[in-house]
Structure 1
Amino acid sequence: MSSKEMSAMEEGMFLTVKQICYSSDAVKFMQKVIAELVGTYFVIFAGCGSVVVNKLYDGIITFPGISVVWGLICMVMIYSVGHISGAHFNPAVTITFCIFRRFPMKQVPVYVVAQLLGSVLASETLTLVWDIPRDAFFGTVPVGPASRSLVLEIIISFLLMFVVSGVATDSRAIGELAGIAVGMTITLNVFVVGPISGASMNPARTLGPAIVMRVYDGIWVYMVGPMLGTVSGGFVYNLIRFTDKPLSELTRSSSFVKSMSKSTATATL
């Protein structure tokens, strides 16, 4: 092959890569990833920041205040970037959407990395602003038996995903209220379970502070619990999504689960 031919081939490869990098789809996807990273950053910064301030300044925010902060920041960020990235901010939610064919599988790893990176950056920011001792850890650690925290994380993650599925994926719901519904659900969950498990509901929420402060006590609870809860919550909502059809119609020619998956896939096209 002559040098001229090699030069032409290299130029063609360069143009191809340039077209891919600057294509409309690539730009839109990068916007989604950046929105997911920024949204997760501020969710963790505000939520965990309220925990830090409460511990360092003699309970000035109070536990109810912390609960409200978590709900408010999630609501604010959903309305800010939900129309761009879908406002998952949570690897468990992203994976569950993928399982039920409401999110493309090829985008899942990038979304999860963006969420984890946002959490780590927010946690690092908090440790740079404040000199945080180990007893002021702002992550999630089980209080009492790990099994109890696991059960509670499954329950509250189930509720969160059940609500998300209802307000964000069902065309019969009032979509404009999604942010309020999800934010209020998070507030309620923190109120009820916060003193026991920390009410994570989100592997990224737990991993970021744990990595930055190197506190890994009971971390498996927050990897297993939210995943089991969100998948279960998504599955149950999909079971009741089709109650306008008789059960015999859904189960006549195939299994109910297969029929449900087919209908879900059709709804996303």
Structure 2
Amino acid sequence: MTTTRLRHCLLAEALGTAVLLAFGTGAAVVDEQTHALGHGGVAAAFGLVVLVIIQGLGPTSGAHVNPAVTVAFWAAGRFPGRRVGPYVAAQLAGALLGSGLVRLVAAPGSLLGATLPAHGPGQALGLEMFLSFWLMLVILRVTAGAYEQGLLAGLTIGATVWLEALVAGPLCGASMNPARSLGPALVAGHLADAWLYVLGPVAGMLLAVAADRLLQLRTAVDPAGTPVSAGAGGPGAG
């Protein structure tokens, strides 16, 4: 990939992450002020914006918009290690930009849609690990082979984010994304629980990489030495 092409990717990652924060946490702030969306509406906003980002920016950068996703794709052998740092930097810059935009419409004292534990750090960490594990496993499975960059993949990933935010949002914020949590935390100056939303997603998504490898089909050989099943298709690019 040329330097120019990499710059395009980084711009797409920064822009996509900014849009994720602007519409996702923006929905939380709007509901905080107007009560017009409700929890279900905020969860829907996150799922829908993820779908839009994947369809709009996926062909350019892969639409990771999530440092944990980038690290997991690298661990899975589907993303070059030399680009992990630049991607993560672009995502964090985008998150700060998105949270800065949300701050323009937020009421004084707002936490800008920050993710916070409802019942202590232990539960939040466990939930973030599980939610991130399942999200990344879905991503790995639907971005391989014929599904890669297709509408079905975007719909499935967006629906997964929507479902997880709908069910677990009231308990832990359902971040699954260090950039999504660090943006509001840094801009609002509320960093006490931010470590949960870095460790949980990264650990959960790395576990998903291991689980995906276990789920890969292997060539089976019958007693006569004849292959009876073919392996899964090759991995797609992140």
Above 0.5 in TM-score?
yes
| Structure showing the higher helix proportion among its residues | 1
- Report the count of equivalent residues: 227
Query: What are the within-5 Å matches in structure 2 for residues 104-119 of structure 1?
Result: 104-119=80-95
- Report the secondary structure of 1:219's partner residue: coil
Alignment of 1:194-213 (within 5 A): 194-213=169-188
Q: 1:140-188: per-residue Cα shift (whole Å, max 9, x none)?
A: 01111210011100111001000000111x2154651111000000000
Paired residues of 2:21 and 2:99 also in contact (CA < 8 A): yes
CA 1:175–1:137 in structure 2 vs 1: closer, same or farther (change >3 Å)? closer
Query: In the alignment, which residue of structure 1 is the partner of 2:145?
Result: 171
CA distances 1:199-218 after superposition (whole Å, capped 9, x unpaired): 00000000000000000132
SS in 2 for 1:30: helix
Question: Contact 1:100/1:264 (CA < 8 Å) preserved in 2?
Answer: no
Aligned to 2:5: 28
Distance 2:147 2:211 in 1: 17
Amino acid at match of 2:145: S
Q: Paired residue for 2:18?
A: 41
The amino acid across from 2:203 in the alignment is L
| Consecutive aligned runs of 4 or more in structure 1 exceeding 6 Å deviation | none
1:140 and 1:200 in contact (8 A); partners too: yes
CA distance in structure 2 between the partners assigned to 1:246 and 1:49 by the alignment: 50
> Residue 6 of structure 1 corresponds to which residue in structure 2?
none
Inter-partner Cα distance in structure 2 for 1:181 and 1:232: 20
* Structure 1 residue 218 corresponds to structure 2 residue 193: yes
1:223 Cα deviation from its structure 2 partner: 1.0
| 1:15 matched residue in structure 2 | none
Quote how far apart the aligned CAs of 1:192 are.
1.1
Equivalent residue number for residue 235 of structure 1: 210
Q: 2: CA distance between counterparts of 1:264 and 1:79?
A: 22
Does the Cα contact within 8 Å between 2:59 and 2:149 map onto a contact in 1? Answer: no
Is 1:55 aligned to residue 32 of structure 2? yes
Whole-angstrom distance in 2 between the partners of 1:40 and 1:117: 8
Distance 2:148 2:19 in 1: 26
TM-score w.r.t. the length of structure 2 is: 0.90
| Alignment of structure 1 residues 1-269 onto 2, 5 Å | 25-57=2-34, 59-134=35-110, 136-168=111-143, 170-171=144-145, 173=147, 175-176=149-150, 177-241=152-216, 243-246=217-220
Structure-2 separation of matches of 1:130 and 1:173: 39
Q: Distance in 2 between matches of 1:174 and 1:202?
A: 21
Counterpart secondary structure, 2:91: helix
Superposition RMSD in Å: 2.1
Distance 2:153 2:99 in 1: 27
* 8 Å CA contact 1:123, 1:212 repeated in 2: yes
Answer 1 or 2: higher relative contact order, Cα 8 Å, separation at least 6. 2
Distance 2:17 2:221 in 1: 40
Unpaired runs of at least 5, structure 2: 223-230
Q: Distance in 1 between matches of 2:146 and 2:12?
A: 27
Which of structures 1 and 2 has the bigger CA Rg?
Answer: 1
TM-score by length of 1: 0.80
**Corresponding position of 2:225:** none
